[in-house]
């Protein structure tokens, strides 16, 4: 049975998927080797800063060759340097995912540059923002429809387009993993950020549907759901003050996460260590999504938005 044999057994599994599973069982690795991704070809969107950059660096540490995307090429300079310092290839691609056709083009360009794709980490996302880039926080009844549509265009429509375009490339890989960077906001009530939370919940639903639909092709699909993480995008809320105090009061661990606390989960979902994990929403949120902090009774200050 060779790698191009697409026959199926009685369960419907492809021959290539069965062969890959058999090889994994026949050649057991050490626990640390299960997290190696040597020579895997990975695309990371939104790789210029924050979680995206940290994930790209971690995948390079694990052995990946990388295609990195952002809206502008200069924004990727630091990430490229970090990946190359680790001795790994870094292909840079620019494109605004809010624009039609960009997601598909990024997939094709990444696959061409790397000679295929084994891993896609779709990290790019957005909040409603003002013209100067400042995030806009407003309850749905006061939010503008154009801001809702801008978030849906990037967080949901571009996600679907990216997944659709990635499918044939991942189906041709024996180590395919698609990771959608969702959010704990998609699992809990998130007033003042309804558009963001709704699209992140939709990504989790899409993850589960694709995981089931693509399992026979050997493609694992998972969502990663960080909680409150200190990044440039969240700086407006993580700075000391009433908003940060209110947000962290709902986190049983009582603090914001750093980006480095998310990357281990991303490498796990990409690596052989998670070879039987698909359709899962892996939550990294310090307990935020546990109902009322697991009934821990942590005192919570009044919401700074209560009068809105």
Check residue 301 and give its pLDDT: 74
> Can you give the pTM of this predicted structure?
0.87
**Cα separation of 191 and 110, whole Å?**
37
DSSP track, the chain = --TT---B-TT--BHHHHHHHHHHHHS---TTGGG--TT-EEEEESTTSHHHHHHHHHHHHHT-EEEEEESSSGGGHHHHHHHHHTT--EEEEE--TTSTTHHHHHHHHHHHHHTS-SEEEE------B-TTSPBP---GGGS-HHHHHHHHIIIIIHHHHHHHHHHHHHHT-SS-EEEEE--GGGTS--TT-HHHHHHHHHHHHHHHHHHHHHGGGT-EEEEEEE-SB-SSTTHHHHSTTHHHHHHHTT-TT-SPBPTHHHHHHHHHHHSGGGTT--S-EEEESTTTTSTHHHHT----PPPTTTT-
Contact in structure between 256 and 263 (CB atoms under 8 Å): no
List the pLDDT tens digit at each of the 308 positions of the chain: 333 333 334 334 444 454 444 444 446 568 999 999 999 999 999 999 999 999 999 999 999 999 999 999 999 999 999 999 999 999 999 999 999 999 999 999 999 999 999 999 999 999 998 888 788 888 999 999 999 999 999 999 999 999 999 999 999 999 999 999 999 999 998 888 999 999 999 999 999 999 999 999 999 999 999 999 999 888 888 889 988 888 898 899 999 999 999 999 999 999 999 999 999 999 999 999 987 654 455 667 777 766 55
Check residue 205 and give its pLDDT: 98
Angle, CA 271 vertex, CA 115 and CA 209 arms, to 5° = 85
Contact in structure between 161 and 103 (CB atoms under 8 Å): yes
φ, ψ of residue 84 in degrees (nearest 5): -65, -35
33-239+257-292 adopts what CATH topology? Answer: Rossmann fold (3.40.50)
* Residue 15 exposure: Cα atoms within 13 Å on the Cβ side: 8
User: Sign of the CA dihedral 192, 284, 259, 118?
Assistant: negative
Q: Identify whether 167 is a catalytic site residue.
A: no
Contact in structure between 282 and 184 (CB atoms under 8 Å): no
Check residue 307 and give its pLDDT: 55
Check residue 180 and give its pLDDT: 98
Cβ atoms within 10 A of the Cβ of 305, count? 14
Return the domain boundaries, the chain.
Answer: 33-239+257-292
Task: Catalytic residue, from 95, 127, 192, 196: name it.
Answer: 196
User: Sign of the CA dihedral 245, 295, 287, 196?
Assistant: negative
Contact in structure between 69 and 102 (CB atoms under 8 Å): no
Check residue 298 and give its pLDDT: 62
């Amino acid at each position: 049975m060779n790698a191009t044999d697409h026959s199926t057994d009685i369960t419907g599994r492809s021959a290539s998927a069965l062969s890959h599973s058999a090889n994994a069982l026949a050649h057991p690795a050490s626990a640390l080797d299960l997290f190696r991704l040597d020579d895997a070809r990975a695309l990371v969107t939104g790789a210029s800063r924050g979680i995206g950059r940290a994930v790209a660096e971690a995948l390079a540490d694990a052995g990946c060759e990388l295609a990195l995307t952002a809206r502008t090429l200069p924004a990727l300079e630091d990430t490229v340097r970090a990946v190359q310092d680790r001795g790994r290839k870094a292909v840079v691609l620019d494109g605004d995912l809010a624009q039609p056709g960009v997601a598909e083009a990024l997939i094709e360009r990444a696959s061409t540059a790397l000679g295929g794709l084994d891993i896609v980490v779709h990290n790019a996302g957005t909040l409603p923002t003002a013209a100067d880039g400042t995030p806009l926080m407003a309850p749905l009844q006061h939010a503008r429809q154009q801001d809702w549509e801008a978030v849906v265009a990037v967080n949901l429509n571009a996600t679907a387009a990216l997944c659709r375009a990635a499918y044939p490339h991942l189906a041709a890989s024996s180590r395919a993993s698609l990771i959608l960077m969702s959010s704990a906001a998609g699992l809990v009530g998130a007033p003042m950020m309804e558009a963001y939370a709704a699209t992140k919940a939709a990504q989790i639903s899409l993850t589960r549907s694709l995981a089931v639909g693509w399992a026979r092709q050997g493609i694992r699909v998972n969502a990663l759901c960080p909680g409150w993480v200190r990044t440039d995008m969240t700086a407006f809320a993580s700075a000391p003050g009433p908003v940060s105090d209110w947000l962290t009061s709902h986190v049983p661990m009582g603090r914001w996460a750093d980006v480095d606390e998310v990357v281990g989960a991303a490498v796990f979902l990409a690596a052989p260590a998670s070879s039987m994990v698909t359709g899962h929403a892996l939550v990294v949120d310090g307990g935020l999504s546990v109902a009322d902090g697991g009934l821990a009774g942590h005192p919570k200050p009044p919401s700074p938005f209560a009068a809105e």
